[in-house]
Amino acid sequence: MTPTLIHILTQEFSKTLIQSRLSHIAQSSNETVELSFFHPDRPHRHLVVSLLPSNPIIFAGVEKAAALPKPPNFCRSLRKHLEYAQVMSVTSEPGSRIIHFGFKTSEGLFTLVFEGIPKYPNFILLDPHMEIISALRYKNDVDRPVMPQSLYAPPPQPAKPNLWTMDEKEFGRQWEAAGHPALSLWLKNDIAGTDPELNAYLESFGKDAPLEWSKTKRDIEENHFKHFTLLPGPPPTLKIFPSHSDKNEHAKVFNTASEALENWFKLEIRNHHRQTERVLIEQNINKAIKHEKRILEKLKKDRSEALRSDQYQHWGELVMAQLHKIKFHMSQVDLEDVVRGGPNAITIPLDPSVTPLQNAQRFFKKAQKGSRGLEMVDKREKEVQQRLEELKSAQRSLPSLLTREEIKKAFQQLFPVKKELVEKPKKAKEEKVPTPNIIRNKLSKEFELCVGTSAAANEYVTFQLAQPEDLWFHVRDLPGAHVVLRRLQRDNVVTDDLILLAAKEAALHSKAKPGAKVTVSYTFKKFVKKIPGAPMGMVSMTKEKSLVIII
């Protein structure tokens, strides 16, 4: 967004949006906000703000985009504070790239600030005290961070004279004081509020540039500027000032900046998608080329191995013919060529970890594999070379793909979608019986106390958790919990204090009344047996000992 375009848009918004009510707020993407306005005497308008990379844009369009299914945080903040608010003002400082929208609400005057600065574009919501409520972007990596609940400060501006505050005489005086340098370069370096297109346009008038600037500024302020040319590209380009070099049979001329920007935005989104898809196919082609080259390298190794099949056959025959000369664990051996009658001895490498006979068998296996593999290597190399040529040809033709349809077609031809294999039905897994709830108390690194809380839990504690040498406790002649004193290490010694602690735990988890004396029996778990046909949790025990416990 250029300062000239911002100035023109501010005047358009003042005519089309002031006194309108904000009827709908949505985000069509994380970087694009859409505000819909209603006024009984005007057509519906949709203010679109999109912080495109290095090219932020704002315009009042007529088409409504599809919203995200879940509104982001900034969208929710706008709905909370601005829903059904009325637009009271649209202002911008001449020569800046910032537009302020004033909204009247029951809580006071809120402000939306559009900052169309390519370095850090933003869309910020301010409360009546000019404190930041929310922003489309939060920046902590620039000189001017944008954070909620902090007072809004505009972006830093260069300390230069502003072109938009100059009349014809001041313009001429400043240029003369600088020594009449090249106008475009002087405006770019020494004057604020300019842009490359405006600078080139004024430079084309030579010494009459100050007069032309005065006329251009007057036309913009009086809303006589109604010629906006859109060049479809790619990339699409919007021209504000007439130029002979921009004649194009596909160029379209619009009467308002918003209408031109709406059409530019559509083309830019298509161009962005096209570039994304082009980058994707280029990355896939480069990746595929590297993959095919790696396959070629492996095939070269396979070829060299296959070409040695005759040598492996010879070595195997020599080893078999002279097994009696080869000792175990030799890494190589020199053998007379008794097979082919060669004059010199042949050095044969051996694997010392296997027997001489196994070495011979390995040589024969490699020879057999090599003779078969050479034909397969030739066939595979031709396939890989053909695939490489196809990929490189596609890589060279990428610049000629102009539409998304052409790019998609090329992608599908190069990387066809593989048919999904029908998965075999998996065997149904057996349902696992859930572990009953038990009480586990780790007494130390050596011992753990486990208490059953039900018949199923008693069964689990006794016959699945306890080991044969663990001590088992139960109150005699009364229903109660099975208690196991588990050894966490095999050689741990059980003390009398631990036995007394476990016995008290068994007494507490029984049907005995408080204050009663009970007898707790205990024995090793290996002496506890199930009673055939008895209900769950009923057991018998032998070699037990007992303690009297007062609850």
Dihedral (CA of 291, 296, 300, 302) sign: positive
Burial 232-257 (b: 16+ CB within 10 A, else e): beeebbbbbbeeeeeeeeeeeebebb
CB 97 within 8 A of CB 111: no
Mean pLDDT of 518-528: 93
Query: In angstroms, rounded to a whole number, what is the distance separating the alpha carbons of residues 409 and 412?
Result: 5
**In the chain, what percentage of residues exceed pLDDT 70?**
95
Q: What is the rounded average pLDDT of the residues 402-409?
A: 78
Please state the separation of Cα 304 from the chain's center in Å.
Answer: 44
Mean pLDDT of 356-365: 89
* Token digits of residue 205: 């008038």
* Confidence at residue 369, expressed as pLDDT on a 0 to 100 scale: 73
What residues does each domain of the chain span?
3-135, 438-550
Q: What does the pLDDT read at residue 433?
A: 62
* Nearest CA-CA partner of 177 in 165, 186, 185: 186
Tokens of 265: 């935005």
Q: How far is CA 73 from CA 33, 76, 407, in A?
A: 12, 5, 35
The Cα–Cα gap between 57 and 59 comes to 7
What does the pLDDT read at residue 76? 94
Q: Give the per-residue SS3 of 452-493.
A: ECCHHHHHHHHHHHCCCCCEEEEECCCCECCEEEEECCCCCC
Confidence of residue 398 (pLDDT cuts 50, 70, 90): confident
Look at residue 536 and tell me whether its pLDDT is greater than 80: yes
Burial class (CB in 10 A: 0-12, 13-18, 19+), 224: exposed
pLDDT of the residue at 419 = 65
Average pLDDT, the chain: 88
**Two tokens at 23?**
């009827």
List the structure tokens of 9. 């848009």
Tokens representing 44 are 């519906």
DSSP code of residue 151 = B
pLDDT tens digits for 95-113? 899 999 999 999 999 999 9
Q: What are the percentages of helix, strand and coil residues in the chain, rounded to 5?
A: 40, 20, 40
Q: Which helix (H) or strand (E) holds 369?
A: helix 356-397
Residue 123 CA to residue 33 CA, distance in Å, equals: 9
Q: What is the pLDDT of residue 142?
A: 60
Q: Does position 5 have pLDDT exceeding 80, yes or no? A: yes
pTM of this prediction exceeds 0.85: no
Q: Which fold has domain 3-135?
A: ibrinogen binding protein from staphylococcus aureus fold (2.30.310)
Residue 430 has pLDDT above 80, yes or no: no
Find out whether 285 and 391 touch, Cβ atoms under 8 Å: yes
Whether 404 shows a pLDDT value over 80: the answer reads no
Cross-strand partners of 539: 530
Q: What is the pLDDT of residue 420?
A: 61
- In this structure, what token pair is assigned to residue 129? 């005290």
Q: How many helices (H) does the chain have, and how many strands (E)?
A: 12, 22
Q: Compute CA distances 213 → 12, 96, 98, 221, whole Å.
A: 21, 17, 22, 12
Q: Among 123, 90, 86, 135, which residue's Cα sits nearest to residue 108?
A: 86
> What is the mean predicted confidence (pLDDT) over 456-478?
91
Structure tokens at 314: 């010879």
For strands 132-135 and 108-115, give the pairing: unpaired
Task: Name residue 102's beta-bridge partners.
Answer: 89, 111
Residue 154 scores a pLDDT above 90: no
In 3D space, the residue among 131, 121, 241, 258 whose CA is nearest the CA of residue 184 turns out to be 241
